[in-house]
Amino acid sequence: MAVNERAAKVEYVEVGPERAGQRLDNFLMQRLRNVPRSLVYRIVRKGEVRVNRGRVKPDYRLCSGDTVRVPPVRVSAPSPAADGALAKVLATRIVHEDDSLLVLNKPAGAAVHGGTGISAGVIETLRSMRPQWRDLELVHRLDRATSGCLLLARHRQALTHFNALLRRREVDKRYLALVARQWPHDMREVDAPLAREQAGPGQARDMGVDEAGREALTRFELLQSLPGASLVEVTIVTGRMHQIRVHAAHAGHPVAGDDRYGEPGFNRRLKALGLRRMFLHAHRITLADPAGESMTFEAPLDDDLRGVLDALESGE
């Protein structure tokens, strides 16, 4: 085991005004570099992290003047080979960079942050690529299997701005998805609350439609009808975990290649046409910069997904 040098002893950190309003878990993730997010949540849950000598939850919003107890944490050092390989890929997929924002066309299969079984994800790798990106933070997340536009804030003030836009639902995020069967022209949205489903010990908890769950609204627009499938543009109004995948399946048109909520038969058919991943891609995002100017960023479909569409169009 390698010891994270910054966390080799208990630290008592006083929160400055620039960190006021930041969630405790995000504060710890930035302070404890290379520490898996799951471990951060564990030390908070066990009470090893304290704010003003008291227990708090990970979503606690820090106040200027708070004193945070940060315990020593032992973590495995990230694999340099894995970091180097991912860094080479990410360097070719930067869509936009300015003083406040980095936009990445995230590759499918890359986790946005390290965790169980993942020494380093996108955020850790990007921070290691350039010293000037040391304060980089995720504005939002994409599932590991989803590719496309991912926003990262270059500094704390930018993160606060973009998070506020998300809370006010002033970020327009559009996805491309290939779904089973013909999507009905008159089905414009799925409005169904979502909640985590119960699971046995050691099993992952899926999301499911549940009247007692949280509000979830997804809009769908048919772009192209294909043999036994449809290409749709998806807009998420709310941002729940696995929202597009669950709502598409609930509507009877699961996403191609989705091994969690999809249809095995449909997935096998698409695999024979070359699909080796889930066909879900964040292709466009529109939001305002800190000065109030509107910005739109696009990430084109990767060649593998375009190849599947070409195969369907040709009737293979």
**Of residues 66, 143, 206, 259, which has the active-site annotation?**
143
Establish whether 172 is a catalytic residue.
Answer: no
Tokens representing residue 94 in the block = 């930067």
Under DSSP, is residue 147 helix (H, G, I), strand (E, B) or coil? strand
CA pair distance 303, 308, nearest whole angstrom: 9
How far from chain centre, in Å, is Cα 198?
22
Residue 40 has phi, psi (to 5 degrees) of -60, -45
Residues in the chain: 316
DSSP 118: B
Name beta bridge partners: 252. none
Of 193, 219, 159, nearest in space to 23 by CA: 159
Say if residues 205 and 290 touch (Cβ distance below 8 Å): no
Name beta bridge partners: 71. none
DSSP E strands, 109-168: 137-138, 147-153
Say if residues 207 and 241 touch (Cβ distance below 8 Å): yes
Query: How crowded is the C-beta side of 193, counted as CA atoms within 13 Å?
Result: 7
Say if residues 239 and 140 touch (Cβ distance below 8 Å): yes
Which residues are known to be catalytic? Answer: 143
